[in-house]
């Protein structure tokens, strides 16, 4: 999990890059609230509304497909 914070249009929001345990599936989550007691090394369950898909090229030249969510709820699991 990687997190960055931004401000736009008068709102502060977090952009979180989630990678599943297999390392094969990536999801980008936008979340308006603070993520209290959740850190980059944590495992989380996230609930949200799917808003789009995207893709990018990895360093090895493979195309990585991602889902994009509007996050509603984060739960630390480990």
* pLDDT tens sequence for the chain (78 residues): 889 999 999 999 999 999 888 877 889 999 998 888 888 888 999 999 999 999 989 899 988 889 999 999 999 997
The pLDDT of residue 28: 95
pLDDT tens figures, 43-60 = 999 999 999 999 989 899
Please, what is the average pLDDT of the chain?
Answer: 91
> Cβ(21)–Cβ(56) under 8 Å?
no
Q: Residues near 20 by Cβ (< 8 Å), separated by ≥ 6?
A: 26
Claim: this prediction has a pTM higher than 0.85: no
> Range of 24's domain?
2-76
Q: Please count the structural domains in the chain.
A: 1
């Amino acid at each position: 999990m990687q997190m960055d914070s931004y401000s736009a249009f008068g709102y502060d929001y977090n952009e979180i890059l989630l990678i599943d345990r297999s390392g094969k599936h990536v999801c980008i989550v936008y979340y308006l609230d603070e993520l209290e007691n959740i850190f980059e090394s944590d495992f989380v369950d996230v609930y949200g509304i799917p808003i789009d898909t995207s893709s990018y090229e990895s360093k090895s030249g493979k195309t990585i497909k991602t889902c994009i969510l509007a996050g509603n709820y984060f739960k630390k699991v480990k």
